[in-house]
Amino acid sequence: MPDVLVVGGGPAGMAAALAARRHGAEHVVLLEAGDDVGGQYWRHPPARHVDPDEGRWHHGWQRFLDLRSALRRDPRCEVVTNAHVWSVDRRDGAPPLVHAVIGEVDGQARVPRTFDPAALVLATGAQERTLPFPGWDLPGVFTAGAAQALAKGDRVAVGRRVLVTGSGPFLLPVVSSLVRVGARVVGVVEAAGAARLARGWGAKPWRLAATGGKAAELAGYLRVLAAHRIPYRVGAAVVAAHGDDRVEAVTVARLTPDWSPVPGTQRRVEVDAVCVGHGFVPRAELAISAGCALGEDGAVEVDDRQRTSVPGVFTAGELTGIGGVDLALAEGLVAGAAAAGGEPAPAALRRRAVFREFATRLAAAHAVGPGGRSWADDTTVVCRCEDVTAGALRRAAELTGSKGLRPLKLTTRAGLGLCQGRTCGPAVEDLLTGVLDPGRTAHRPIAVPVRLGELADHNRTGNREDVP
């Protein structure tokens, strides 16, 4: 039984595991679904594809190498890669049992493991959010994160003439990576308007000095934009994509402050790929299954020691709110120390405070505007797995009179396809805001796909009496 079990090998999870060891945990286990730690932020090619210049692709690469090296050197810290946590079992007054299968996703001989930790740290990160618009399901339309993953992990450009659109600073590293793999980026279109950006980032600007390297990072991205003469437009968005077999052009429109398209401002831009990202949402399936209380924004609520509402369960990183790598690292240090029964270092607490303020600015400047719901017309496919349109969702909600998410899913099949609502869930909730009762599509007892044979072989009977 581990003293501390950490789920998620990104920056928050790595920091938490090391902090737990340094504060007295005798046995720490870190579970990571990928074949290496680092998460999406430090995503890199497989070990067999060594790139001596890998550091050029990342910010804080040496920090990652130091963290990974420390984890590997510690014999009492077990790092388990290709570990897919698919379920947790709640228990009264104790952290939940954690069930995982170990092995490659497509492997035929994955090994089941169940963990009974004294303390559990959930650091499962976030997933992308994309607002649907006509044509967004065409080949050649990528999420910004997918484009980034292909560039950083496989050195592949999603297209030769690419437009990047959405909201938030994440668009800038995507542009940088696309340029590095040979794509021509024809523009960046940021949905937040100038006034909102000024309110979000411009209030008490001297306090941003405490964020250290953020200014240098931003300057680096601006140099890329300038060197490649990439226009950066604010207060606008891609509201339609066009093409027969794949995207050939997009329509860009100016937006009102609430993100509604301004009539008569549309213009067509020829592209062969478009990257879209409207921020992130916490990946909260396991936290919800464990019984952790969530805030209105879907983030897990924590106290000053990263404790959740469930005894013995802590969280860190994007799961507590979208704030970036520095906040994730600081929260990981606090959560790991507290999970081991120690007192977090004052420096970690100070950095957490600094980057929580940074996260507040991020939300103030780039949060999705309600006018974005109007981008999807009735023919726009929202659930791409089951081909469910926005019109079908609206009609079903109106005809059934049901405000529950479950009847809507069963009536329309939205969220019942291969992704199980991971992609379309936030979009469905946004589209029917004010119609559905509050409820999150992230309620998913089986968090990742598992085979029926693996379920049948899994021995859970010894713990079932503990499940409420």
Same domain, residue pair 272 and 291: no
pTM over 0.85: yes
Do 59 and 137 lie in a common domain?
no
Q: Six-digit token pair at 425?
A: 């869930």
194-226 tens-digit pLDDT: 999 999 998 888 788 788 778 888 899 999 999
Residue 132: what residue type?
P
- Using the predicted structure, report yes or no on whether residue 465 has a pLDDT greater than 50: no
pLDDT, position 2: 78
**Of residues 329 and 438, more confidently modeled:** 329
**Do residues 226 and 144 both lie within one domain?**
yes
User: Do 36 and 62 fall into the same domain?
Assistant: yes
- In this prediction, residues 254-272 reach a mean pLDDT of 97
Q: Is the pLDDT of residue 461 over 60?
A: no
Tokens for 203, please give them.
């209030």
64 and 151 both lie in a single domain:
no
User: Residue 114 — very low, low, confident or very high, per pLDDT cuts 50/70/90?
Assistant: very high
Shared-domain flag, residues 154 and 271: yes
Is the domain of 171 the same as that of 104?
no
Question: Which ranges of 310-400 does DSSP label H, i.e. alpha helix?
Answer: 325-339, 346-366, 390-400
**pLDDT band with cut points at 50, 70 and 90 for residue 56:** confident
Task: Give me the domain span that covers residue 17.
Answer: 4-127+280-344
Share of the chain above pLDDT 90, in %: 72
The answer to whether residue 462 scores a pLDDT higher than 50 is no
Write down which residue in 295, 326, 344 finishes a domain. Answer: 344
Are residue 215 and residue 257 in the same domain, yes or no? yes
Please state, rounded to an integer, the average pLDDT across all residues of the chain.
Answer: 91
Instruction: Indicate the number of domains in the chain.
Output: 3
Phi-psi region of 401 (alpha: psi -120 to 50; beta: other; left: phi over 0): left
Residue 463, pLDDT > 70, answer no
pLDDT at 327: 97
List pLDDT tens digits, range 407-425: 888 889 988 888 888 888 8
Strand partners, 210: none
Beta strand 161-166 pairing with 184-190: parallel
If 0-12 CB within 10 Å is exposed, 13-18 middle and 19+ buried, where does residue 464 land?
A: exposed
pLDDT band at residue 460 under the 50/70/90 scheme: low
User: Is 184 part of any domain?
Assistant: yes
Mean pLDDT, residues 38-54:
83
